[in-house]
Chain A
Amino acid sequence: GENVEQHPSTLSVQEGDSAVIKCTYSDSASNYFPWYKQELGKRPQLIIDIRSNVGEKKDQRIAVTLNKTAKHFSLHITETQPEDSAVYFCAASWLQGGSEKLVFGKGTKLTVNP
């Protein structure tokens, strides 16, 4: 089955700097890669996603890039703000038994220092 590796596990940046989180996946058939932001004790929130037919997608300060050949995808946050501090999870879709499901990375705790 699918395996998703996420790095780094923790990331600390100064306000205004950029943050990059990287994920690799193992199943070349995966075709959907969402990113979730989870604040302490709250539900994961979908912040951006990308499908395998595109290489990059942007939404204001957030962007995701996908390299299908290398089987890795990255989240880029520019001009970071303290409210960006949270745990971020990447995921890759995996088809099993006719049902598509997501496999999550272990998460990255991002701290943005004012």
Chain B
Amino acid sequence: GAVVSQHPSRVICKSGTSVKIECRSLDFQATTMFWYRQFPKQSLMLMATSNEGSKATYEQGVEKDKFLINHASLTLSTLTVTSAHPEDSSFYICSALDRYNEKLFFGSGTQLSVL
């Protein structure tokens, strides 16, 4: 199947700093990418939908100024957690929609720990 690369896999940062997470579709073009947050033993919570070349659409309750999403090309979307706080600690996963076969493929996730 298609490959989605997500980096970094793990990041530890101090409170108040910003963290950028990258999501790349390696062998297909992804006009749409999604960002999720997953708490331990819970389901995937959709944060935002990112369409190439346009502004991201955020789900209700997700602060767009805190979670900045950029989808500048057909293979790359980034999520920046600005001024991170301990409550932002979580597992963040991206996914990319392969328009050719209309299937969704996930990145490997990023475990963010804010001290």
The answer to whether A43 and B104 touch across the interface, beta carbons within 8 angstroms, is no
Residues of B32-46 at the interface with A, using a CB-CB cut-off of 8 Å, are 32, 34, 41-44, 46
The answer to whether B104 and A89 touch across the interface, beta carbons within 8 angstroms, is no
Contact flags A75-105 to B (C-beta < 8 A → 1, else 0)? 0000000000000010000001101111111
Contact flags A6-33 to B (C-beta < 8 A → 1, else 0)? 0000000000000000000000000010
How many interface residues does chain B have, given as a range?
A: 20 to 34
Residues of A20-50 at the interface with B, using a CB-CB cut-off of 8 Å, are 32, 34, 36, 41-46, 49
CA A100 to CA B44, docked complex, whole Å: 16
How many interface residues does chain A have, given as a range?
A: 20 to 34
B: residues with CB less than 8 A from A are 1, 4, 6, 32, 34, 41-44, 46, 49, 51, 57, 93, 97, 102-109, 111
The answer to whether B105 and A106 touch across the interface, beta carbons within 8 angstroms, is no
A: residues with CB less than 8 A from B are 32, 34, 36, 41-46, 49, 89, 96-97, 99-107, 109
The answer to whether B106 and A101 touch across the interface, beta carbons within 8 angstroms, is no
A53 to B: closest C-beta gap in Å: 13
The answer to whether B93 and A44 touch across the interface, beta carbons within 8 angstroms, is yes
Interface-centre pick from B1, B42, B44, B105 (highest chain A CB count, 10 A) = B44
List 9 A-B pairs, Cβ < 8 Å: A32-B102, A41-B109, A41-B111, A43-B107, A102-B34, A103-B46, A104-B44, A106-B42, A106-B43
